[in-house]
Each structure stands twice: as C-alpha cells, then as structure tokens.
Structure 1
Amino acid sequence: MIHMTSPARKTAAIALLMNMTILGVFPLDVILPSFPSMARYFDTAVADIALSVSLFSIGLSLSLLLVGPLSDRVGRKRVLIIGMGVAVMGSAGCAMAQDFAWFMVFRMIQAVGCGSFVLSQALVQDLFIGKEQERLRIAMVTASGICISVSPLFGSWLQTWLDWRGSFQVFVIIGLLLILKAWLLLDDPSPPSDVRLSIVNAYRQVLRDRSFVGYWLISALAFSCHFAFIVVSPIILMEQLGLTPYRFALVLLLYGAAYVLGGIAAGWMNRWMDGNTQIVTGQRLIASAGVLMLALYHLWGLTVMTVMLPMILCTAGTTITRPIATSRAMGRFPLAAGTCASAGNVIIFVCGGLVSSLVSQSGEQVMNVLAITFLVLSGIGMGLNAREQRSAHAA
C-alpha cells in the first residue's frame, strides 16, 4: 500500500472505511429487535437466538487472530475482499435458512468473514499519514458510536418492513458494495520481506513491546466503559425504568448525539493539543462521569436523566481518548499494521467482554457498579499513560 495523494482517492478511501464502520454494527446490534420474531420462526426460545450472538463473537475472535497477520503477508485487498465475500455468503445463508441448525452454521460463517473489519485500522495506517490518521480515527470512533446508538431503532424499522431477514439482506447489499469499492480503490503490492513472519512470531514481536500493549490497553479500557453501558442499558432503561423498546431506542439516539459532540471536541483538541493532553483529558472526563453518576443517582434516584447525563460525559471522554491511543499503538509497527490491528482488537474485545460481564451481574447495584467501573478504569488508563510518558522522557 502507498499513502494517498489524490483528494479524490482520499475521499473514496474514507467512504470505504466508513462503510466498514457502518456494516460492523449489523451482525450484533441491528438484529437485536428481531430476536422474538426469529424465535417464533425457528420455534425455539429467545435465549437460543441470543446464543447465536455468543457464537458469533467466538467466530469473530478466532478470525481476528488470523486476518491481520495474513494481510501483512499477502496484502490487505485480497484478505478484505475474501473476508467480505465469506461474510456476505454467511449473511445470505442466514436470510435463507429454514431451520435453526443451518442458521447457526451460516451465522458462524458470517462471523469468520466479519473478522476482516479489523483491517480498517490497518488501512488507516497504510493510506494516511500523521494527523490525518488521528483525525480519521476520531471520525471512525464517532461514526461507530452513532451507528451503535441508532441501530436498535433502525433494526425495529427493518423488523417492521422486512421481518427478521431484513438486517441480513441489507448486510448483503452493503457488503457487495464494499467489495466493489475495495476492488476498485485498493492496490496490493508485495509486502516488505521483513514483515513476512509466521503468525506466532508476528504476534510475539508486537506483544513484547510494552508501549504497544500499554496504548492498546488505554484504548480498550475507554471502550469498555462505553461497551459496559451498552450491555446493561436494556437492564437499566427497560427492566428497571420500564421503557418500551421504542422509547429505549429513542434514548439511545441521545447517546449517539453524545458521540457527535465528543467527536467535535476530539477534532478540535487534535488540532490544538498534544496527544498526551488529549488522553489525560479524555480519562478525566470518564472519571468525572463516574463521580457525576454516583452523585445524581444517590440524590435523585434512577431516572433517564441521571443515567444519560453522566453517559454523555463518559462518551465524550471515550471519543477523545481512543483515537489518539490507537494511533500511538498502531504507529509502533507501521510495517505490520495488520498484526497490530488484530492484536489490539483482541485486547479490546477481551477487556470489553470481561468488564461488561462483571457490570451486568451486579443486579440492583448496577448504577453504583457502573459508576465505580468508570472511576477504576479511567484511573488505570491515566496510570498507563503516565508510565508511557516517563518511558518516553527516559529514552
């Protein structure tokens, strides 16, 4: 890959990356409102349909481990197109499945193909330079948050008009367009010989770098704050506050607006502040969100506002922290961007899964545990960043 110089090609590359961001929410988030309909169609329990999400995550994680290093060896374009082709076939199979067993098979196939989405971070590293990378990652984090927030409402519309097959059919259409864009836009020159390592050696090389792991952990801890809320939001807003699914979707739209504000703030800070200041500012906002959530909850109890006001603050901190931390991690091994992206996203998924599992099991204390989680994770993030700053000055 080479860095892009043509404005038209840069615009096309940004459109490709944003399409990958949008498509990434379909397999897990857009399908959620269709669970009851799918359970009726396949004559099974909703819990069995939820199991497909767990299996999807397993297939995705296994795929992530292979996709990045393979793209370093044979090129991004080839791996992305093949991966997206597998995901499209899996999604089409899900839409046509007549029984639950075949649905689960095609769901796993879709998951394996969706591992290619991790290449968005590698493509940012390949195609853009310097501040362009940071600004684009800010835009991608913002777009991802907005899509996650809007997806339940979009999913309910698809369920109304196209039934449960709708999300899979739309995935196929967008996926085919993405394959076409990748085919026309991307080049695939031979990777440098010094990055053609075995998968095990490639991971050993990047994971032995303390700064690489440290910055990915900072990004992962910020992501975990957002992900923990997404996981427990149905418990807080629907089960405890009694919101209908439609009202729940509307509240998450407000959460999406917070990503827009956070993205604007992150873009402004990226122009005027150094990376360390951005990370510290984002972590402090997440910590402030934890303090505010505890204060509002104990003063006024559980309401939509006592939940969402702190989450808006937390979201701003997440949006500010993640892009710069990710850019610093990815910059450690620019010639092995695929391996870096895979390793980093595995760290993110593991952290997000562990933290959200802990918070989701806290029952009636979920608000207190969520707020304390923000304080603890932001504190660890600031400690990791301080360590990296000391290492940089010592060097």
Structure 2
Amino acid sequence: MTESGTAKRRAAVALLLAMVLLGVFPLDVVLPSFPALSSHFNRSTSDIAFSVSLFAVGISLSQLLIGPLSDTLGRKGLLLAGMLISILGGIGCVLVSDFTWFLFFRCIQAIGCGSFVLTQALVQDLFVGKARDQLRILMITASGVFISVSPLAGTLLQQAFDWPGSFWVFVALATMVFIKALFFLENSLPLPHPSRTLVQSYRLVCRDSIFIGYWLISGLAFACHFSFIVMSPLLFLQHLQLSPYAFSLVLLLYGLAYLCGGVVAQMLSRRIQARAQINVGTLMIVFAGVLMLLFSSLLGLSILGVLLPMIVCTAGTTVARPIATSRAMDVFPEYAGTAASIGGMLVFVCGGGISALVNLSRFDLQTTLAVCFMVLGAAMLGLHALINRRQTKRRAE
C-alpha cells in the first residue's frame, strides 16, 4: 500500500471510530446527570428516563429511513445532514428551559444520530476482505470500551460542567466529525444496483435467511453485553452496595475485557476461518454462563462471581459479533445502507427485548444472567448451523 493509501486508510479509521464514540454520548454519558436534569426541569427521574426511551425510539426509526436512502443518494450528503441535525438538537437541549421543548430537541438529536447507522455501510464501501473484518473488530472493541468508560466520564462532566456538559462535549465532537467527513469523504455513490423503492429494498434483504441469520447472531451476542450493562447498576449499586465511583471503576475493568477480546479476535481472524471464529466466540459465551452459574451456587453474589464470567462473555462477544456482522453485510454489498439499517434494528430489538426479559425474571439476577448467556449461546450455535446448512445447499444448487 502506498503512503497516500495508508494515510487515507488511517483517516477513514479515525472518522469511523469518532462516529462510534459519538454514539455513546447521547445515551450512556448522560446517565449520571439524571438527578441534575430532574432538578433543573422539576420533573421526576422517570420523566427523564422517558426522554432516553424517546431518544432510542427516534434513532431506531431514523436509521430505518437513512440507510436505504444512502443506497441511492450516497453516504456523504446524508451523513453530513444527520450530523448537522444532531448538533442543532444537542444545542437546543441545553438552551431550552421547558421540559416539553427539551423532549422535542432530544427527538431532533435522535433523528440526526440515526446517520450513525452509516458507519457499517462506510466500512463496506471503503474496505475489503480481512481489512474489513479487522476494522469491525476494532469498532466493536472501541464501542465496548467507550461504553465502559462512559459512567466515569459522565460523572466527571457532571461535576465539572453540570448536566449541559455532556451535551456540549457531544456538540464539539460532532462538529469535528462533521468537518472531518466534509473534507475526507468523496461524493461517490455506492455500488450500482437495480432501482428499487424503499419497501422493495427492505423486502429483498429481509427475505434472505442467511442475511437475517448472521444479523441475529450479532444481535444475540450484543444482547449478552447489553443485558449486563442494564443490570449492572442493580447488581453493583443496589445489591453489592458499591459507591458510584467504585461502580465506575468496575466498569473500567469490564472495558478491559473488550480490549482483550479485540486482541484475541484480531489474532483469530488471521489464523482461522470466519465460521470457526464465530463458533469459538459463541462457546466462550456459553462457558461464561456456566462459570457464572457455578460462582452463584458456590459463593453467592460477589464482584468476582459477576465480573470474571462477564469478562469471558465479553471476550466471546468481541470474537463472534464482528465476523457475524461482516458476513451479514457481505450478502448485499450493493444495498449496504439498507442492510445496515435492518441489522441495526435487529441488534436493537435483541438487546432491548432480552434485557427487558432478564429484568422481569423472578430469579436472582446473577442466575438469570448465567442462564441467559447459556440459552443465547445455544441459540447462536443453532443459527450458525442452520446458516452453514443453507449455504451448502445454495452452493449445491
């Protein structure tokens, strides 16, 4: 690769990682500011939590439109428009004094953040082969680290700048990403494909069982991580009585698991086939469930009994999920925007739905998480076997 090609590749990686970081701020970094937001707007914490739910709904609906449009209009214009809208929404959230207007601008911010779905499409456009797989490993590793660090970052921003701090940092980062994308990305269109309406594009990709199967594997792997993140305040703050600062440090250790998983995934991607890598990561998730169940029965609820199995589970997630995502996106490279939107929705539904079921369980949370990992891991192995059988049948035809 030439020096200019290497520099361009590094610039693309930097842009994509910055977009991954931006995806953390609107949801995760703002969580420590719930009490301050509640006091500022004179609303209950449940109302503030509703604003987060509203944001999640807005971003999921927005990406369902942005992805397919990018297949026909190109990525750059939609990404820049989305970034600009998210910046305006973030500024509006800080400047208004009425909670209704705050909700309105959070929705505006969410609509703009829907453009982050284009990260997967841009990876598909700008990289090929092993480089594409390795970049997705890096992005998922970075995402996990950012999420793990976010409670501590949110706490520090809250102490230094009050609740507007996370919004102003988001605006500053989004502005830098906007400028970077404006000068770096080209106005080229994605791969040519037959003209189809939005509904026709969705119908095409959703009817492919291999595409859906790989995205479900990615979504189930993500659900393991997301269920822990959602349950972690109850486990560590409520049941184990850790201080918020100690809880933040625990999540930093959890972030190290993403780094370790990313290193292992990078090594495996160079030595074994994608099929074997997915199986290895999935078996690690199942083993984490067995390990957590063993700790629960022998030691009861403890930091070690939760954190050590989660490190194993997270490493498995980082090994299996990026490759499953890459294989899903490879099915329809000419419809990368549509494929990324469908995949993002499936991952969001898996993470939200399964974490809600875990929360509703009548058993203790540690046992519930352990069983969840084993069941989800078994489901991933079953899906992967069905995909392999389907691929063998297609090649025979």
Fold in common (TM above 0.5): yes
CA distance in 1, matches of 2:285, 2:69: 36
- Is the CA contact (8 Å cut-off) linking 1:34 and 1:156 kept in structure 2? yes
Runs of 4+ aligned structure 1 residues displaced above 4 Å come to none
For the residue of structure 2 that corresponds to 1:44, the secondary structure is coil
- Is the CA contact (8 Å cut-off) linking 1:59 and 1:111 kept in structure 2? yes
More displaced 10-residue stretch of structure 1: 368-377 or 310-319: 368-377
What residue is the counterpart of 1:312 in the other structure?
311
How do 1:1-395 residues align onto structure 2 when only pairs under 5 Å count?
Answer: 6-191=5-190, 194-362=193-361, 365-394=364-393, 395=395
CA distance in 2, matches of 1:30, 1:213: 31
- Is the CA contact (8 Å cut-off) linking 1:195 and 1:335 kept in structure 2? no
1:130-171: CA deviation from partner (whole Å, max 9, x where unpaired):
000000000000000000000000000000001000000000
Unaligned runs of 5+ in 2: none
- Is the CA contact (8 Å cut-off) linking 1:279 and 1:320 kept in structure 2? yes
Task: Write the letter of the residue equivalent to 2:258.
Answer: Y
- Is the CA contact (8 Å cut-off) linking 1:216 and 1:348 kept in structure 2? yes
Task: Write the letter of the residue equivalent to 2:207.
Answer: R
More displaced 10-residue stretch of structure 1: 346-355 or 382-391: 382-391
Measured at CA, do residues 82 and 195 of structure 1 come closer, stay the same or move farther in structure 2, by a change above 3 Å?
farther
Aligned residue pair count: 392
CA distance in 1, matches of 2:332, 2:187: 19
How far the C-alpha of 1:191 sits from its partner, in A, is 4.5
- Is the CA contact (8 Å cut-off) linking 2:149 and 2:251 kept in structure 1? yes
CA distance in 2, matches of 1:72, 1:206: 13
Task: Write the letter of the residue equivalent to 1:239.
Answer: Q
1:104-132: CA deviation from partner (whole Å, max 9, x where unpaired):
11001101111100100000000000000
CA distance in 1, matches of 2:312, 2:190: 42
How far the C-alpha of 1:362 sits from its partner, in A, is 2.3
* TM-score scaled by length of structure 2: 0.97
How far the C-alpha of 1:392 sits from its partner, in A, is 2.3
1:342-382: CA deviation from partner (whole Å, max 9, x where unpaired):
00000000111110001112255211111111011110100
1:214-259: CA deviation from partner (whole Å, max 9, x where unpaired):
0000000000000000011111111111111111111000100000
How far the C-alpha of 1:389 sits from its partner, in A, is 1.4
CA distance in 2, matches of 1:32, 1:378: 29
Measured at CA, do residues 214 and 5 of structure 1 come closer, stay the same or move farther in structure 2, by a change above 3 Å?
farther
CA distance in 2, matches of 1:174, 1:322: 27
1:325-357: CA deviation from partner (whole Å, max 9, x where unpaired):
000000001111000000000000011111000
Identity %: 52
For the residue of structure 2 that corresponds to 1:243, the secondary structure is coil
For the residue of structure 1 that corresponds to 2:93, the secondary structure is helix
Instruction: Note the aligned Cα RMSD (angstroms).
Output: 1.2
Measured at CA, do residues 364 and 381 of structure 1 come closer, stay the same or move farther in structure 2, by a change above 3 Å?
closer
How far the C-alpha of 1:99 sits from its partner, in A, is 1.6
More displaced 10-residue stretch of structure 1: 181-190 or 272-281: 181-190
How far the C-alpha of 1:196 sits from its partner, in A, is 3.6
CA distance in 1, matches of 2:363, 2:204: 44
CA distance in 2, matches of 1:250, 1:97: 34
CA distance in 2, matches of 1:153, 1:189: 40
CA distance in 2, matches of 1:118, 1:392: 27
1:77-115: CA deviation from partner (whole Å, max 9, x where unpaired):
001000111111101111112121111110011011111
CA distance in 1, matches of 2:195, 2:340: 16
Task: Write the letter of the residue equivalent to 2:233.
Answer: P
- Is the CA contact (8 Å cut-off) linking 2:191 and 2:333 kept in structure 1? no
- Is the CA contact (8 Å cut-off) linking 2:192 and 2:334 kept in structure 1? no
* TM-score scaled by length of structure 1: 0.97
CA distance in 1, matches of 2:249, 2:382: 36
Measured at CA, do residues 106 and 143 of structure 1 come closer, stay the same or move farther in structure 2, by a change above 3 Å?
same
How far the C-alpha of 1:393 sits from its partner, in A, is 2.5
